[in-house]
Amino acid sequence: MFKHLKWNSIDFFQRYSLLFVGMVLSLILSLIRVNSNTLWSGLILTLSGLFGFVSFLAALVLAVNTCFTWLTRDSYLLELTNPIPTWKILLSKFLVAAGINGLACLFILQISLLWSNYQGVGYSFLTNAHLKGIPSLVLFLLLVDCTIAFSYILVKSFRGFRKFSFLFTGLMSALLLTVIVSVCMLIMTANGMMVLPEISGENILSLSGSLNVYSSLFPVIFSGVVIALEFICSSLLLSRRFQRD
């Protein structure tokens, strides 16, 4: 599996090398300091922001694509005939997607630190304190990626949905993500881990109170369990029922 993971990583880098070029350009421009608030300083900051946000959004989209678009290519059957189990092939795709999400989060956090101190003295770089929330964020992004991939594989596993697979994939992904978030919130609310604002509709619809979350561990565990279930179901469908055409 490690060889397959290495091949997927190299393939991603070769296919989307412009993504890394955009990130590097954004970082370089954010490191260039102009002493006065002139047209040049505004232009440099604008270009850095443009390259930064485009690269960040592109990384998130490409992470989703990495999970399932390989199944839309003519070479997908060749990959599935490799002498390794289907679940290992799928796991390598998900791990690459997690790596892309992690890179995107680290990049946008670092570039934000540089922007926040653009007019100051010196540079601000990532520390251990900044990295605490990265694993949870990467896990939540991977949950979205896995849900979309599972929806596509599920749609392609039934003949009646294959003709409009992307439409049904989008609808099913939105439905599943809504259900996942709703169930997580219901469990947390029922166990006192989260307090929702109160809705009053006596005279006019209004909200009172605020959203308070008392546990950040449960959403992480819940997301991990959902990802594991989607991975298992996707592997079974991919090896037994999936058909592209």
CA dist 126 and 106 (Å) reads 8
Radius of gyration, alpha carbons of the chain:
22
Contacts of 163 (CB under 8 A, 6+ apart): none
Which has the closest alpha carbon to 56: 94, 30, 19? 19
Q: Give the model confidence (pLDDT) of 35-58 as tens digits.
A: 666 677 778 778 888 899 999 999
pLDDT higher than 60, residue 245: no
The answer to whether residues 196 and 208 touch, using CB atoms and an 8 Å cutoff, is no
Q: Is the pTM of this model over 0.85?
A: no
Q: Which residue has the tokens 């630190």?
A: 113
Helices (H), the chain: 2-15, 17-31, 39-68, 76-80, 86-116, 134-156, 165-190, 217-240
Confidence class of residue 204 from pLDDT cuts 50, 70 and 90? very low
